[in-house]
């Protein structure tokens, strides 16, 4: 119940995940809801501003806005058992945050049931002392900061931190000295300090008094939560500044965003603002300062090496008195050009990368990074570079980004894609692109089309398949066979996935019009047979000179079955083992390994009927992603089931024969 999202459903997260959808499809809402689950700063949910419109009667602050499931490592499970005296029989734990900011933990398979809220500490905190004017600004700022922290720790149930709160807050707040004839400000500060220190003592006492394994378990988990960081403001850095003025604003706590980005450059370069200002005021330190600037520039240059793939860049710093300049030159143009005068694309990427590097030194490490529409203003080639950088950042964190840009989708990793769609029940998220609305999958379709369009000039030979599952299986199997020095798809063959049999036929005819060799591969079922027959009658039979072939998957696989889909390459038990992995939690309810295929026909249809009997919605795309990943990890084709290996070779051979026939036909003409 957050903005336009009534229930998104579970969203499976990879180390790098992309949320795809049109503008106003709910991408930002999803990221913001997740961000507020455990933000770096104090950014609570607002039930007044964020509760979905039209559902006012259902509104309540104890409703969980976001539920996040975390896996537990064996080491964490062992430590959990040691501290709580309870075995956590599950490999995961669910954590919720509601509109009131309260965190709750759910431990499946353990005796730690029940909620941690309400807790007696909450009763103590209902009477927090109030700040009375007049009061000193520094004291008021620190007091409000501490009150906010106390409320947050109580709501989140971070009990180990509550016990240690008293000594830290009392020390940092500073005990105002009691004097005779105190002025009103001193009296108010002393009164607040006394009341607050007493309350902190009560909090610590209640925390110890009501300690339990359930609360210890809750505290154990929430203390290990990663920080969720949201970014949508990708501002460009400026490398020029008046050093003494920046220092003055820093001392006055009035730094601007431009100042902060400039200080980030200095920090990454290992340069200190105060030292540069001092050197600028001392004529006899000019040589020493230039040495420091050169060393700092070399440090930054080394950090950004290989991050901007289009060209190699070098950073140089110059200073004249208190004027500081950042220059950037590249391998093609050795002229020094100020950072602000570089291309907008370079400025964006340079700034984005530097901000990430700077923040990764602390806050961003082992975090969940949420990026809203990165790369909007970048050239497509630069967007591809950005994808590489995002993959690098995801190596040490979990990274989720949203986009509606085709070039911001890496088709080599379909397991990362999640599509957003609008439904009668609000915005929903799915990894099944076939279930998404046309607008939701348009970006992926565009990515497929643009990828083909950018490659077809260098790939005159093409294979069109009905769907993305066909694309994943055939390419992964071909790569595996190639690693094993067995028959595989030709190296110069470009595979394009359509969105069904009829669209595969349309794409094939379009490619023929571009004077390309095309093999269209259809499933052996009614839809595939109809589309194949139509293509043969419309093109293959009518235009003998056309270099196009229409194949049936079952025929080239030499299958005797009347229906044959791509999944029928795999033996039943092998495919079911993947389903057990994908649907492990859902299948636990009816019992492990209790999935029995129902009826006859293609494998996926028998699985669908079996899952339907268990009231489980089957998504063959989710299974395909996991199975593709397993194929990609195999070192040789010997790891494949014998039936799969032999059938895959027949399919590869059938496609190759069809391509050779097209070339022979052209030579005969």
Q: Which of 310, 345, 380 is the last residue of a domain?
A: 345
The whole-angstrom separation of Cα 140 and Cα 128 is 14
Helix, strand, coil shares of the chain, percent, nearest 5, are 50, 15, 35
pLDDT over 80 (residue 159): yes
The whole-angstrom separation of Cα 167 and Cα 573 is 62
| Residues 6 or more apart whose Cβ sits within 8 Å of residue 216 | 83, 84, 159
By mean pLDDT, which of 174-178, 292-296, 582-586 is the weakest? 174-178
What pLDDT, on the 0 to 100 scale, is given for residue 173?
85
What is the pLDDT confidence band of residue 450, given thresholds at 50, 70 and 90? very low
Residue 344's φ and ψ, nearest 5 degrees, are: -60, -40
Q: What is the CA radius of gyration of the chain?
A: 31
Instruction: Indicate whether 462 and 576 sit together in one domain.
Output: yes
What pLDDT, on the 0 to 100 scale, is given for residue 453?
47
| Residues 6 or more apart whose Cβ sits within 8 Å of residue 631 | 473, 476, 477, 480
Instruction: Indicate whether 263 and 121 sit together in one domain.
Output: no
Does residue 439 lie within any of the structural domains? no
Instruction: Indicate whether 245 and 220 sit together in one domain.
Output: no
Q: 455-472, pLDDT tens digit by residue? A: 444 467 889 999 889 999
Domain carrying residue 667: 456-669
Q: 39-51, pLDDT tens digit by residue? A: 877 789 999 999 9
Q: Which residue has the higher pLDDT, 182 or 264?
A: 264
520-542 burial, b for 16+ CB within 10 Å, e for fewer? Answer: bbbbbbeebbebbeebbeebbee
The closest alpha carbon to 274, from 322, 325, 326, 327, belongs to 322
Residue 105's φ and ψ, nearest 5 degrees, are: -115, 145
DSSP secondary structure string for all residues of 128-139: PPPP-SS--HHH
Sheet with 548-552, side-by-side order of all strands: 493-497, 461-465, 517-522, 548-552
Q: 216-274, pLDDT tens digit by residue? A: 999 999 988 998 888 886 767 788 999 999 999 999 989 888 888 888 889 889 999 99
β-pairing, 417-423 with 16-20? parallel
β-pairing, 323-330 with 241-242? antiparallel
Does residue 358 lie within any of the structural domains? no
| Residues 6 or more apart whose Cβ sits within 8 Å of residue 509 | 535, 538, 539, 548
What pLDDT, on the 0 to 100 scale, is given for residue 566?
95
Does residue 141 lie within any of the structural domains? yes
Q: Tokens 């730094």 correspond to what residue?
A: 255
Instruction: Indicate whether 312 and 198 sit together in one domain.
Output: no
Q: What percent of the chain has pLDDT over 90?
A: 38
Decide: 71 and 95 in contact? Cβ < 8 Å. Answer: no
What pLDDT, on the 0 to 100 scale, is given for residue 456?
45
| Residues 6 or more apart whose Cβ sits within 8 Å of residue 414 | 468, 472, 625, 628
Q: Provide the β-strand partners of residue 403.
A: 20
* DSSP SS3 for 337: strand
Q: 318-357, pLDDT tens digit by residue? A: 999 999 999 988 766 667 788 888 777 677 777 777 776 7
Q: 266-312, pLDDT tens digit by residue? A: 988 999 999 999 999 888 888 899 999 999 999 988 877 755 555 67
What's the number of domains the chain is made of? Answer: 3
Q: What percent of the chain has pLDDT over 70?
A: 88
Instruction: Indicate whether 573 and 656 sit together in one domain.
Output: yes
- Tokens for 424, please give them: 């009668």
Does residue 96 lie within any of the structural domains? yes
What is the pLDDT confidence band of residue 390, given thresholds at 50, 70 and 90? confident
The whole-angstrom separation of Cα 528 and Cα 132 is 77
Instruction: Give the mean pLDDT of 359-367.
Output: 60
Q: Mean pLDDT score of the chain, rounded to an integer?
A: 84
What pLDDT, on the 0 to 100 scale, is given for residue 455?
46
Q: 77-120, pLDDT tens digit by residue? A: 888 888 888 777 778 899 999 999 999 999 887 778 888 898 99
Using CB atoms within 10 Å of the CB of residue 115, give its burial: 0 to 12 exposed, 13 to 18 middle, 19+ buried: middle
* DSSP SS3 for 99: coil
Structure letter (DSSP) for residue 332: S
Does residue 273 lie within any of the structural domains? yes
The whole-angstrom separation of Cα 315 and Cα 299 is 9
Instruction: Indicate whether 220 and 341 sit together in one domain.
Output: no
Q: Which residue has the higher pLDDT, 581 or 589?
A: 581
Does residue 570 lie within any of the structural domains? yes
The closest alpha carbon to 106, from 2, 207, 257, 222, belongs to 222
How far out from the chain centre does Cα 291 lie?
41
pLDDT over 70 (residue 668): no
What pLDDT, on the 0 to 100 scale, is given for residue 333?
65
Does residue 567 lie within any of the structural domains? yes
The whole-angstrom separation of Cα 546 and Cα 517 is 8
Q: Which residue has the higher pLDDT, 345 or 553?
A: 553
Does residue 648 lie within any of the structural domains? yes
Instruction: Indicate whether 127 and 270 sit together in one domain.
Output: no
* DSSP SS3 for 477: helix
By mean pLDDT, which of 432-446, 451-465, 523-537 is the weakest? 432-446
* DSSP SS3 for 335: coil
The whole-angstrom separation of Cα 666 and Cα 669 is 5
Q: 5-30, pLDDT tens digit by residue? A: 998 888 989 899 999 887 777 889 99
Instruction: Indicate whether 260 and 203 sit together in one domain.
Output: no
The whole-angstrom separation of Cα 523 and Cα 529 is 7
Angle (CA) 11 14 17, round 5°: 75
Residue 275's φ and ψ, nearest 5 degrees, are: -65, -40
pLDDT over 90 (residue 409): no
Q: Which of 345, 365, 400 is the last residue of a domain?
A: 345
What pLDDT, on the 0 to 100 scale, is given for residue 97?
96
Q: Tokens 């390459």 correspond to what residue?
A: 569
Reported as half-sphere exposure (CB side, CA atoms, 13 A), residue 271 has a value of 29
The closest alpha carbon to 416, from 452, 438, 447, 461, belongs to 447
Instruction: Indicate whether 198 and 253 sit together in one domain.
Output: no
What is the pLDDT confidence band of residue 587, given thresholds at 50, 70 and 90? confident
Q: Provide the β-strand partners of residue 16.
A: 399
Instruction: Indicate whether 149 and 213 sit together in one domain.
Output: yes
Instruction: Indicate whether 145 and 209 sit together in one domain.
Output: yes
Instruction: Indicate whether 175 and 255 sit together in one domain.
Output: no
Q: Provide the β-strand partners of residue 93.
A: 70
* CB count in 10 Å sphere of residue 147: 19
What pLDDT, on the 0 to 100 scale, is given for residue 354?
77
The whole-angstrom separation of Cα 611 and Cα 579 is 10
Decide: 457 and 514 in contact? Cβ < 8 Å. Answer: no
Q: Which of 313, 329, 345 is the last residue of a domain?
A: 345
Q: Provide the β-strand partners of residue 39.
A: 228
């Amino acid at each position: 119940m957050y903005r336009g999202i009534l229930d998104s459903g579970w969203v499976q997260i990879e180390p790098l995940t992309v949320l795809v959808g049109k503008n106003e499809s709910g991408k930002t809402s999803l990221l913001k809801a997740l961000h507020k689950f455990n933000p770096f700063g104090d950014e609570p949910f607002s039930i007044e501003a964020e509760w979905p419109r039209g559902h006012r009667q259902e509104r309540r602050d104890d409703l969980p806005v976001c539920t996040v499931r975390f896996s537990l490592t064996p080491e964490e499970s062992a430590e959990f058992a040691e501290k709580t005296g309870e075995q956590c029989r599950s490999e995961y734990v669910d954590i919720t945050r509601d509109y009131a900011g309260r965190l709750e933990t759910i431990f499946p398979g353990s005796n730690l049931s029940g909620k941690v809220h309400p807790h007696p500490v909450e009763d103590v905190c209902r009477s927090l002392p109030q700040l009375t004017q007049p009061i000193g600004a520094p004291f008021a700022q620190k007091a409000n900061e501490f009150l906010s922290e106390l409320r947050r720790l109580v709501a989140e149930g971070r009990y180990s931190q509550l016990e240690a709160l008293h000594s830290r807050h009392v020390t940092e707040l500073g005990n105002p000295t009691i004097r005779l004839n105190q002025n009103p400000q001193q009296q108010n500060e002393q009164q607040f300090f006394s009341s607050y220190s007493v309350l902190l003592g009560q909090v610590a006492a209640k925390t110890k008094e009501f300690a339990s394994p359930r609360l210890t378990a809750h505290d154990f988990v929430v203390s290990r939560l990663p920080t969720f960081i949201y970014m949508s403001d990708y501002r460009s850095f400026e490398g020029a500044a008046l050093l003494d003025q920046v220092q003055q604003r820093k001392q006055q706590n009035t730094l601007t965003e431009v100042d902060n980005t400039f200080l980030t450059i200095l920090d990454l370069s290992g340069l200190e603002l105060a030292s540069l200002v001092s050197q600028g005021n001392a004529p006899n330190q000019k040589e020493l300062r230039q040495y420091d600037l050169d060393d700092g520039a070399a440090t930054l240059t080394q950090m950004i090496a290989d991050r901007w793939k289009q060209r190699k860049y070098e950073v140089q710093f110059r200073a004249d008195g208190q004027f500081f300049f950042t220059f950037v030159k590249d391998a093609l143009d050795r002229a020094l050009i100020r950072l602000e005068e570089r291309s907008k694309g370079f400025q964006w990427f340079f700034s984005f990368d530097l901000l990430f590097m700077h923040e990764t030194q602390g806050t961003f490490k082992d975090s969940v990074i949420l990026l809203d529409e990165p790369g909007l203003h970048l050239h497509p080639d630069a967007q591809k570079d950005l994808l590489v950088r995002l993959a690098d950042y995801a190596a040490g964190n979990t990274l989720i980004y949203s986009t509606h840009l085709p070039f911001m989708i890496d088709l080599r990793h379909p397991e990362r894609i999640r599509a957003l769609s609008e439904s009668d029940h609000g915005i929903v998220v799915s990894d099944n692109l076939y279930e998404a609305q046309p607008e939701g999958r348009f970006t992926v379709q565009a990515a497929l089309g643009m990828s083909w369009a950018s490659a077809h000039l260098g790939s005159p030979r093409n294979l069109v398949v009905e769907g993305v599952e066909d694309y994943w299986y055939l390419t992964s199997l071909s790569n595996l066979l190639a690693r094993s020095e067995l028959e595989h798809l030709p190296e110069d063959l470009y595979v394009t996935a359509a969105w069904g049999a009829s669209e595969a036929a349309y794409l094939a005819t379009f490619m023929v019009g571009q004077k390309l060799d095309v093999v269209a591969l259809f499933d052996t079922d009614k839809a595939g047979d109809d589309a194949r027959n139509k293509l043969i009658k419309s093109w293959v039979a009518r235009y003998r000179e056309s270099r196009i072939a229409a194949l049936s998957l079952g025929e080239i696989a030499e299958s005797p079955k009347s229906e044959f889909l791509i999944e029928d390459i795999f033996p039943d038990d092998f495919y079911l083992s993947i389903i057990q992995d994908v649907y492990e939690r859902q299948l636990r309810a009816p019992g492990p390994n209790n999935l029995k295929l129902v009826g006859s026909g293609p494998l996926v249809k028998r699985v669908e009927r079996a899952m339907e009997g268990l009231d489980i919605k089957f998504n063959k795309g989710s299974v395909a992603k996991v199975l593709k990943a397993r194929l990609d990890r195999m070192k040789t084709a010997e790891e494949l089931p014998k039936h799969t290996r032999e059938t895959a070779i027949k399919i590869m051979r059938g496609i190759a024969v069809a391509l050779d026939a097209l070339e022979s036909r052209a030579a005969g003409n």
